[in-house]
Structure 1
Amino acid sequence: WSLQEMAAYKMFLRYGTCIKIVGDIPRDAKHYMINLGEDEFNIALHFNPRFNYQNNIKKIICNSKSDGIWGKELKENDFPFVPGTTAEVRPQNQTNGFKVRLPDGFEFTFPNRLKLQTLNYLEIGHDILVRSVTFK
């Protein structure tokens, strides 16, 4: 696997834009992350599926970062990710927060603590090989 982090700036994604991220998860994956926000210091959604990382086994950790300071973590127990497979995640910034659709169809909402109406920053990294990122 040749895994590398990717980041995109100046995205100007408004409320309602759905981002579809498809990637391959290596067999020995520990965790991967998707960050959405203003920049690397102001992240409205930190989405971090953890296979076995920092004492979390098969948990999704979500958080936000404001001026470089992390907020309170929220844990989601639905974990449809399987090492050695391809996964699809669909985060969408809505007025009441981020609706996140998982590969098994389960959806949850994470609050938009930073109250960002426009997302300018997307980062994907760690144990995932990104196949595609599309916007709708």
Structure 2
Amino acid sequence: MSRPFLFFLLSAGLLSCVKPVVCAGAKKSKSLQMEAVGTEELDFKEKLVLEAFNKMVVSGKVKLQVEPCADPENLPSGSYDDILVYRKLKMKPTKTGQRGEVVGGLRVGRSIVVRGRVNQDPERITVNLVSDKSDTALHLGPRFNSLGYVNVIVANSRLAGVWGTEESHRQFPFAPGQYFELVILCETDSFSVTVNGQHQLDYNYRVVDLKSITAVDVHGDMTLIDVRMK
């Protein structure tokens, strides 16, 4: 029986699981081990330096879902949380859109990923990071044609019920009917925002206690696929 072509490039010692298709990992730094559901275990002898591997590519007619490995005790020393794949947040309906809980809050190095598809003839999309005091630590508003803005990303914060100084960015990667992946990375002093792999803007923290940011709100003219956190 033919198998989809799978080519794995992994950092040394890191374990990655893909369910239900395959599990793969470095086995004592000597080989690359792969196990697909319903098949025998395959063992590929190391031919390249594993330290150079940092990507995984999977092709074939498969529906891919990535989950953390179930047994962190067997992982290499270091922070298990730092090498987890993005964890899917459970989004709940709100009056305006959907909200997901950020368990434990944010911190430097953590990322929030929002994936969705823009509606046809959109006006705006909104992604908010909200603190436990109901402050909006980060408001990201891609505006296609709304409130006087055309194809502009607006960034702002709402603290103690008052909106701050608005920042506008005219680099605009969104398009009607198109899929997008928006990543918000917590840097030392700012949020770094990328869309579809391209850096868009940096936004200096106005809420400095990142751990207090405990929710993600998403709404607007889009279909939400999922929200994930690392």
TM-score by length of 2: 0.55
CA distance change for structure 1 residues 84 and 40 in 2, over 3 Å: closer, same or farther? Answer: farther
CA distance change for structure 1 residues 40 and 77 in 2, over 3 Å: closer, same or farther? Answer: farther
Q: Give runs of ≥4 in structure 1 deviating > 6 Å.
A: none
Post-superposition CA distance 1:42-79 (Å, at most 9, x none): 01110000000001000000000101111010001100
Relative to total residues, which structure has the larger strand share, 1 or 2?
A: 1
Looking at structure 1, the residues matched to 178 and 102 of structure 2 have their Cα atoms a distance apart, in angstroms, of 31
Which one is further off, 37-46 or 25-34?
A: 37-46
Looking at structure 2, the residues matched to 25 and 40 of structure 1 have their Cα atoms a distance apart, in angstroms, of 30
Over aligned residues, Cα RMSD in angstroms?
Answer: 1.6
Structure 2: stretches of 5+ with no match in the other structure: 1-95
Other-structure match for 1:59: 152
CA distance change for structure 1 residues 93 and 56 in 2, over 3 Å: closer, same or farther? Answer: same
Counterpart check, 1:33 vs 2:153: no
CA distance change for structure 1 residues 75 and 40 in 2, over 3 Å: closer, same or farther? Answer: farther
Deviation of 1:39 after TM superposition, in Å, equals: 4.4
Q: Is the 8 A contact 1:49 1:60 kept in 2?
A: yes
Deviation of 1:93 after TM superposition, in Å, equals: 2.0
Other-structure match for 1:133: 227
Counterpart check, 1:117 vs 2:210: yes
2:103 is aligned, of 4, 11, 17, to 11
Post-superposition CA distance 1:7-60 (Å, at most 9, x none): 124532332211111001001110010000304830111000000000100000
Other-structure match for 2:189: 96
Equivalent pairs: percent with the same residue?
26
Higher relative contact order (CA 8 A, sep 6+): 1
Matched pairs, number:
133
Relative to total residues, which structure has the larger helix share, 1 or 2?
A: 2
Looking at structure 1, the residues matched to 137 and 188 of structure 2 have their Cα atoms a distance apart, in angstroms, of 13
Q: Is the 8 A contact 1:37 1:116 kept in 2?
A: no
Counterpart check, 1:22 vs 2:115: yes
Other-structure match for 2:79: none
Structure 1: stretches of 5+ with no match in the other structure: none
CA distance change for structure 1 residues 40 and 127 in 2, over 3 Å: closer, same or farther? Answer: farther
Looking at structure 2, the residues matched to 40 and 27 of structure 1 have their Cα atoms a distance apart, in angstroms, of 35
Other-structure match for 1:81: 174
CA distance change for structure 1 residues 104 and 80 in 2, over 3 Å: closer, same or farther? Answer: farther
| Max Rg structure | 2
CA distance change for structure 1 residues 10 and 77 in 2, over 3 Å: closer, same or farther? Answer: closer
Q: Is the 8 A contact 2:139 2:157 kept in 1?
A: yes
CA distance change for structure 1 residues 58 and 46 in 2, over 3 Å: closer, same or farther? Answer: same
